[in-house]
Amino acid sequence: MSNYEDIFKKVVSHSKEYGYVFQSSEIYDGLAAAYDYGPNGVELKNNIKNYWWKSMVNMHENIVGLDSSIFMHPTTWKASGHIDAFNDPLVDNKDSKKRYRADVLIEDHIAKIEAKIEKDVLKAAKRFGEAFNKEEFLATNGRILDRQKQIDAINEKMNTSLSSNNLEKVKELIEELDIKCPVSGTNNWTDVRQFNLMFKTQMGATADGSSDLYLRPETAQGIFVNFLNVQKTARMKIPFGIAQIGKAFRNEIVARQFIFRMREFEQMEMQFFVRPGEEMKWYAYWKDFRMKWHNSLGMGEDNYRFHDHENLAHYANAATDIEFKFPFGFKELEGIHSRTDFDLKAHQEHSAKKLQYFDPELGESYVPYVVETSIGLDRMFLSVLSNSFREEELENGESRVVLKIPAVLAPIKAAILPLTKKDGMPEKAREIMKILQLDFNCQYEEKDSIGKRYRRQDAIGTPFCITVDHQTLEDNTVTLRDRDTMIQERVSVEKLHSIIAGKVNITKYLA
Q: What is the nearest approach in angstroms of ligand GAP to the Cβ of residue 511?
A: 26
Q: What is the nearest approach in angstroms of ligand GAP to the Cβ of residue 256?
A: 10
Cα 197 to Cα 214: distance, rounded to the nearest angstrom: 10
Instruction: Answer yes or no whether residue 458 interacts with ligand GAP by CB under 6 A.
Output: no
**CA separation, residue 285 to residues 177, 333, 370, 372, 510 (Å):** 38, 18, 13, 11, 17
**With respect to ligand GAP, which residue has the nearer C-beta, 265 or 342?**
265
How many residues bind to ligand GAP according to rule CB under 6 A? 19
Of positions 103, 378, 458, 469, contacts ligand GAP by CB under 6 A: 378
Instruction: Answer yes or no whether residue 454 interacts with ligand GAP by CB under 6 A.
Output: no
- Quick one: which segment of 55-63, 203-211, 369-377, 462-470 binds ligand GAP (CB under 6 A)? 369-377
Instruction: Answer yes or no whether residue 76 interacts with ligand GAP by CB under 6 A.
Output: no
Q: Report the 3 state secondary structure along 217-259.
A: CCCHHHHHHCHHHHHHHCCCCCCEEEEEEEEEECCCCCCCCHH
Whether the CB-CB separation of 243 and 192 falls below 8 Å is answered with no
Instruction: Answer yes or no whether residue 445 interacts with ligand GAP by CB under 6 A.
Output: no
Q: What is the nearest approach in angstroms of ligand GAP to the Cβ of residue 69?
A: 16
**DSSP letters along 307-347, please?**
EE-SS--TT-SEEEEEEEEETTEEEEEEEEEEEETHHHHHH
Whether the CB-CB separation of 389 and 3 falls below 8 Å is answered with no
Instruction: Answer yes or no whether residue 340 interacts with ligand GAP by CB under 6 A.
Output: no
Instruction: Answer yes or no whether residue 21 interacts with ligand GAP by CB under 6 A.
Output: no
Q: CB atoms < 10 A from the CB of 212, how many?
A: 10
- Quick one: which segment of 13-21, 133-141, 233-241, 329-337 binds ligand GAP (CB under 6 A)? 329-337
Instruction: Answer yes or no whether residue 331 interacts with ligand GAP by CB under 6 A.
Output: no
**Angle, alpha carbons 203-206-211 (nearest 5°):** 35
422 class by beta-carbon count within 10 Å (0-12 exposed, 13-18 middle, 19+ buried): exposed
Instruction: Answer yes or no whether residue 218 interacts with ligand GAP by CB under 6 A.
Output: yes
Instruction: Answer yes or no whether residue 293 interacts with ligand GAP by CB under 6 A.
Output: no
Instruction: Answer yes or no whether residue 379 interacts with ligand GAP by CB under 6 A.
Output: yes
Q: What is the nearest approach in angstroms of ligand GAP to the Cβ of residue 331?
A: 9
**DSSP letters along 28-85, please?**
GT--TT-EEE-HHHHHHHHHHHHHHHIIIIIT-TTEEE----SB--THHHHHHTHHHH
Q: What is the nearest approach in angstroms of ligand GAP to the Cβ of residue 378?
A: 5
**With respect to ligand GAP, which residue has the nearer C-beta, 335 or 368?**
335
**With respect to ligand GAP, which residue has the nearer C-beta, 287 or 379?**
379
Q: Which helix (H) or strand (E) holds 489?
A: strand 488-492
**With respect to ligand GAP, which residue has the nearer C-beta, 238 or 371?**
371
On the CB side of 105, CA atoms within 13 Å amount to 29
- Quick one: which segment of 18-26, 164-172, 370-378, 500-508 binds ligand GAP (CB under 6 A)? 370-378
Q: Interface residues for ligand GAP in 164-183 (CB under 6 A)? A: none
**With respect to ligand GAP, which residue has the nearer C-beta, 375 or 493?**
375
Question: Could you check whether the bond before residue 239 is cis, i.e. omega within 30 degrees of 0?
Answer: yes
**Phi, then psi, of 376 in degrees rounded to 5:** -80, 125
Binding mask 240-259 toward ligand GAP (x if CB under 6 A, else -) reads ----------x-x-------
- Quick one: which segment of 60-68, 147-155, 332-340, 467-475 binds ligand GAP (CB under 6 A)? 332-340
Cα 289 to Cα 500: distance, rounded to the nearest angstrom: 28
Q: What is the nearest approach in angstroms of ligand GAP to the Cβ of residue 317?
A: 14
**With respect to ligand GAP, which residue has the nearer C-beta, 260 or 509?**
260
Of positions 14, 45, 82, 261, contacts ligand GAP by CB under 6 A: 261
Instruction: Answer yes or no whether residue 376 interacts with ligand GAP by CB under 6 A.
Output: yes
Cα 219 to Cα 431: distance, rounded to the nearest angstrom: 44
SS3 216: coil
Q: What is the nearest approach in angstroms of ligand GAP to the Cβ of residue 16?
A: 18
CA 282 to chain centre: 22
| DSSP bridge pairs for 401 | 391
Q: CB atoms < 10 A from the CB of 43, how many?
A: 20
| DSSP bridge pairs for 325 | 330
Residues in touch with ligand GAP (CB under 6 A):
218, 220, 250, 252, 261-262, 265, 267, 269, 332-335, 372, 374-376, 378-379
